[in-house]
Structure 1
């Protein structure tokens, strides 16, 4: 019995020593893991060096809405229109041909063009009626009409200005103005007084230059 007790005591001591070694190993492993984690946490601090906290919290100022884009092309178009504006004071009477009916042809354009125009050689593709418009409004409307129809490649148009029967003294003021305005438009090759069935003395048939011509 005494020998068995001694053997049990030795086994117990061995077990206690083993437990102590295992506990020490686990403690060492935990300590190493904690050191590694701490080192990883402090990596940025060590890389950045000593820093001082900001006195004020960081604030980001958001930029306002950007200004609208400048309509450069529109401005250029307006400038071009101003350069091409037509004058009220232009006297076209010296440039008009007075044959069997009034007509105009730009220098270099033959008489056959106005003859063909009067006979309906070119079909009328668009019409502008200036009845009831004030002089300023009529001038702007005519300039825009000629510019746009030429841009669309249209060759022949009719401009109705009226016979002036409703004007003071029944003088066709707008008729003379329209003739002067058309002479100033570079897109216009020629124009003739319309035939009776097309408006007669109250309208003009206008031939425009070919697009790109």
Structure 2
């Protein structure tokens, strides 16, 4: 049988080659399933696949705070004003400092601020220290009192001994910085915790 290819008849050698290839092929077997339409296997994006829920492990009995540290952290307390002043670097002569701590040196002048408000005490302290320094004095005593444990009833708690805490800060800053060399808590014979020794610089 003569075959056509591309609008022309196959030559005898081409037809012989074609028949040789056709003899090596096996025809497909037609099954009943081949007559059925092919189902759409594309997954529906709106259809959610739910995985079976995993059984949860049972919760063991426990008590609140049982794993917390038993060691108390403690309170963070700032150093007292006495500790803060004592921690200042030593500026004066060590021998005189030792005598001063023992109450062996006598103050050349004193200022009593006990019972005053901060607004009253600050200008008086400035004038007293600057005058003493101008006069060439070396050691003066400033009395503040220890303060009373009382509450004025205001919304903000008041520190006990406000004046006692504030005076060392005034002495180390502002206009008094150039006049004051050392501040030391007074010996008991000169007022103890209710007073401060103020050792002044030499006048230039």
- TM-score by length of structure 1 reads 0.48
Bigger proportion of residues as helix: 1
- TM-score by length of structure 2 reads 0.50
